Structure formats: C-alpha cells, structure tokens
Amino acid sequence: MKVHKLEELWLIIGVVIIGLAIAITGYQAFAKEMAPPSHIETIDPTKVSETPPFNKPGLKKIGDNEYEAVMTLEAFKFEPQKLEVPKGAKVTFKLTSKDVVHGINIPNTNVNTMVVPGHIQTITQTFKKSDRFIMICNEYCGTGHDTMSMQIVVKE
C-alpha cells in the first residue's frame, strides 16, 4: 500500500497534536493540581437543617479579614438573605441545596457555580472595593426562580 507523502505528513501532525493535548492536560491535572476535585463533600439533602454547619447559616470569621459564608439554597430563597463584610474580605462560600439544583452567580465577579443537592459546593471571592452585590440563582429551579436572590454588602 502506498500512502501519499502529504497524507502521511498530516497523519503525523494529527498524532502529534493529540499527543501534545494529552501531555498538556496531564501536566496541568497532575503536576499543577488543576484536576477537578476528587474529594467531593457530600451531605444528606433531606437533613441539611440538622447538619452542621448548615444548621446555622451565616458568616464566620476564619482569619485576618477572611470569612466563611455558610449558605443554604432552596426554592426560592437563600439563607442568609444578606451578608455584610468589610472591604478586602476574602469570603469562602460554602453552599448546599435543600431541594433541587440551583446555581449561584454574583454579577461582575468570577462567582458562578452550580449547587447540587447532596453536595457541598465551595467557592472563594475577595471583595476588593466597598460595593453592593447581589447573588442570584442562575439555574432554573421553578416558578420563583427569577425572584431568588440575596444581597452582599461590602463596607468601607
């Protein structure tokens, strides 16, 4: 069998590209630890209200201007409804859902993730300027979806 020279060349280029893609992804996943989390935290979605820390949603200081915001989501509200943090605060949101899949998004930040019942989701954001933010649900969760939001106030 005779393979055309150019066809052979492009076959080699194709294989090299695939090899490079595997190498780069592997390097990022293992050497740079950018792989998706494998130690996923789970929770019984029917017992959220009794399971610490979700039995007491709210803000907890965990370091120098560092906070943990424990939040629960359910159709169609966030708990708590409002959070106040000082300027520059690094806030790690710890979230779970009591019922269906919700999503969170804080416009003008990188906070954007799904919150799936049975799982604990964490996401961190540093609020550099004093401002008012709104956290909205961005995953359709029912008739009240468009009203599902809460407020974050970053004080001077």
Instruction: Give 70 or 117: the residue with its C-beta nearer to ligand CUA.
Output: 117
Does residue 116 touch ligand CUA according to CB under 6 A? Answer: no
Shortest distance, position 54 Cβ to ligand CUA, whole Å = 16
Continuous segment of H or E residues that includes residue 25: helix 5-26
- Greatest alpha-carbon pair distance for the chain in Å reads 75
Taking the complex as a whole, how short is the minimal distance between the CB of residue 71 and ligand CUA, in angstroms?
A: 12
Measured from the CB atom, the residue of 116 and 154 that comes closer to ligand CUA is 116
- Asked if 139 is part of the footprint of ligand CUA (rule: CB under 6 A), the reply reads yes
Distance CA 150, CA 39 (A): 29
Local structure of residue 96 (DSSP, 8 states)? E
Query: For residue 147, what are the CA distances in angstroms to 29, 71, 104, 142, 143?
Result: 38, 17, 13, 10, 9
The single residue among 49, 122, 140, 153 that binds ligand CUA, judged by CB under 6 A, is 140
Q: Say if residue 76 is preceded by a cis peptide, omega within 30 of 0.
A: yes
Interface with ligand CUA includes 148 (CB under 6 A)? yes
Q: Dump strand ranges (E) for the chain.
A: 58-63, 66-74, 77-79, 82-86, 89-97, 102-105, 112-115, 121-127, 131-137, 149-155
Residue 137 sits in the site that holds ligand CUA (CB under 6 A): yes
- Window contacting ligand CUA (CB under 6 A); options: 17-25, 53-61, 127-135, 137-145: 137-145
For residues 70-89, which are near ligand CUA according to CB under 6 A?
76
The phi and psi torsions of 37 (rounded to 5 degrees) equal -60, 135
Among 70, 106, 135, 141, binds ligand CUA (CB under 6 A): 141
Q: Which residues bind ligand CUA (CB under 6 A)?
A: 76, 102, 137, 139-141, 145, 148
